[in-house]
C-alpha cells in the first residue's frame, strides 16, 4: 500500500501552545481517520516538527520536512509571523502550506491554501453584530506583530469610516502578561467594547484582569462592555471559564452548532482525545488533511500542483461543511457564526450565518463604510434565540 508523507508544523510548546496544540491534534486525528478508512487505498505518514513558538525556526523546520521526508504538503503555522517565514520555503520547493488559522488577509500565494477566515469573513461580520448593539467607541488591543497590527488597522478603518471612533490602540509582545497599563487606560476611557487581538497567555491574563475590573465597576461587565475576538476558541475558553463568560467570538465553527453530524463529531473528538475539544483550531487542521486525502484518492498522486487543481475544481465534505478552494485567491468560502462564551467554555451561538461568505483577502469587494447610522437594521445574519 502506498504511503504519502505529510508535514505537520505546529508549536506544541512555547507561548501559544494551546491553539497550536489543537491544530496538531486536529491534523493527527484526520490522518488517523484516513488511515483507518478502507475507502483510501493508501496511508498518510505524519512527520511533525515543533518550532517551540520561535518564529526563526519555522523556515528551517519546514525546509527539512519537505527535503528529508519528501512531503508535498505541510499543514501548520499558527501565527501570521510564522506563516510569513514559511512562504518563501514552500514557494522555492514547490510544496503546499495548508494554513489553518484565521488571519488578517492581504496575501495570496500559489503555494498556500488558506483554510481559515480572512478579515471580511471574521472581523467585518463581528463588527456588524457588535456595533449596533453596544456602540461604536472601541478600544483595540493586540500582540505586537502583523496579526494585531493589521486586524486593528482594518477595525479602525471600518469604525472611522462608519462614524465610530477608536479610543485607544495598544500592543504587547507575544506572551507578555504585563497588561496592567491596558486595564488602567480602558478604565479611564470607558469604551463601548474592546477588540482583543492578543494571543496565548497575554489574552488570558488580560481577560482575567478585565473580569476583576468588571467586579469593581459594572460598566466593564460583559453585558455592558464586551470583549470581542476573532481567534478565541473553546479550547481556551474551557480553561478560562468565568473569566471569558459573556464575551464574543466569531468563527466558522463552534462545537455547539446544531446538527447530529456535528454533535457526533465533537463527542468523538472529546472521547478519543482527552483534554482536547473540537474547536476551530482543531477542525480547520482536520479539514486540511481531509482535503489532501480526498484529492489523492481521486487523482492518485500527492503532487502539490495536482492536489491544488483538484481542490480548486471539486468540493470536499468536511466538518466545516462542503469546501472548495477559490481559484483566484486559494481561500475558501466560510460561515461567520458569532458565539457568546459560557461559563463551561462552550459558546451560545447568538448569530448564525445563513450562507457562506466568499473570501476577499484584499478587501477590494468589501464596502468598509458600514451602514451603522441609528445602530439598527443593518444585519445580514439571522438571530438565534
pLDDT the model gives residue 373: 54
What confidence tens digit (pLDDT) does each residue in 211-222 have? 999 999 999 999
What confidence tens digit (pLDDT) does each residue in 91-103 have? 999 999 999 999 9
The SS3 call for residue 252 is coil
Mean pLDDT along residues 181-192: 98
pLDDT the model gives residue 338: 98
Grid coordinates of 56: 526563526
Q: Flag the least confident range among 6-20, 159-173, 262-276.
A: 262-276
pLDDT at 115 over 90: yes
What percent of the chain has pLDDT above 70?
97
DSSP 66-93: HHHH--SEEEE--SHHHHHHHHHHHHHH
The owner of cell 472529546 is 270
pLDDT at 379 over 60: no
CA gap 330, 112 in Å, rounded: 7
What confidence tens digit (pLDDT) does each residue in 334-347 have? 999 999 999 999 99
What confidence tens digit (pLDDT) does each residue in 272-311 have? 777 778 999 999 999 999 999 999 999 999 999 999 999 9
CA gap 84, 71 in Å, rounded: 19
pLDDT at 163 over 90: yes
With cut-offs at 50, 70 and 90, classify the pLDDT of residue 374.
Answer: low
Mean pLDDT along residues 163-180: 96
H/E stretch holding 148: helix 146-161
pLDDT the model gives residue 378: 39
Amino acid at each position: 500500500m502506498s504511503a504519502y508523507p505529510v508535514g505537520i508544523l505546529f508549536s506544541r510548546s512555547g507561548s501559544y501552545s494551546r491553539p497550536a496544540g489543537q491544530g496538531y491534534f486536529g491534523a493527527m486525528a484526520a490522518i488517523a481517520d484516513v488511515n483507518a478508512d478502507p475507502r483510501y487505498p493508501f496511508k498518510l505518514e505524519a512527520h511533525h516538527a515543533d518550532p517551540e513558538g520561535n518564529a526563526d525556526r519555522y523556515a528551517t523546520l519546514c525546509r527539512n520536512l519537505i527535503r528529508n521526508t519528501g512531503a508535498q504538503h505541510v499543514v501548520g503555522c499558527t501565527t501570521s509571523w510564522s506563516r510569513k517565514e514559511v512562504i518563501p520555503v514552500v514557494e522555492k520547493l514547490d510544496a503546499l502550506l495548508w494554513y489553518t488559522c484565521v488571519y488578517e488577509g492581504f496575501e495570496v500565494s500559489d503555494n498556500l491554501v488558506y483554510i481559515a477566515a480572512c478579515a471580511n469573513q471574521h472581523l467585518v461580520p463581528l463588527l456588524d453584530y457588535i456595533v449596533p448593539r453596544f456602540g461604536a467607541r472601541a478600544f483595540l488591543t493586540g500582540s505586537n506583530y502583523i496579526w494585531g497590527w493589521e486586524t486593528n488597522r482594518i477595525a479602525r478603518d471600518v469604525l472611522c469610516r462608519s462614524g465610530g471612533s477608536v479610543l485607544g490602540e495598544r500592543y504587547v509582545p507575544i506572551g507578555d502578561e504585563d497588561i496592567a497599563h491596558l486595564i488602567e487606560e480602558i478604565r479611564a476611557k470607558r469604551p463601548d467594547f474592546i477588540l482583543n487581538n492578543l494571543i496565548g497567555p497575554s489574552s488570558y491574563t488580560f481577560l482575567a484582569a478585565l473580569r476583576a475590573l468588571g467586579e469593581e465597576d459594572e460598566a466593564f461587565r460583559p453585558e455592558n462592555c464586551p470583549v470581542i475576538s476573532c481567534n478565541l476558541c473553546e479550547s481556551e475558553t474551557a480553561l478560562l471559564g468565568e473569566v471569558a463568560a459573556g464575551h464574543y467570538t466569531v468563527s466558522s465553527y463552534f462545537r455547539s452548532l446544531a446538527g447530529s453530524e456535528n454533535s457526533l463529531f465533537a463527542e468523538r473528538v472529546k472521547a478519543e482525545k482527552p483534554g482536547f475539544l473540537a474547536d476551530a483550531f482543531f477542525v480547520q487542521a482536520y479539514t486540511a488533511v481531509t482535503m489532501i486525502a480526498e484529492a489523492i484518492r481521486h487523482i492518485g498522486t500527492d503532487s502539490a500542483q495536482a492536489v491544488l487543481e483538484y481542490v480548486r475544481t471539486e468540493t470536499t465534505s468536511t466538518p466545516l461543511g462542503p469546501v472548495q478552494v477559490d481559484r483566484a485567491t486559494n481561500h475558501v468560502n466560510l460561515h461567520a457564526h458569532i458565539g457568546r462564551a459560557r461559563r463551561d467554555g462552550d459558546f451560545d451561538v447568538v448569530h448564525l450565518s445563513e450562507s457562506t461568505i466568499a473570501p476577499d483577502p484584499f478587501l477590494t469587494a468589501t464596502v468598509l463604510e458600514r451602514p451603522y447610522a441609528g445602530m439598527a437594521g443593518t444585519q445580514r445574519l439571522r438571530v438565534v434565540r
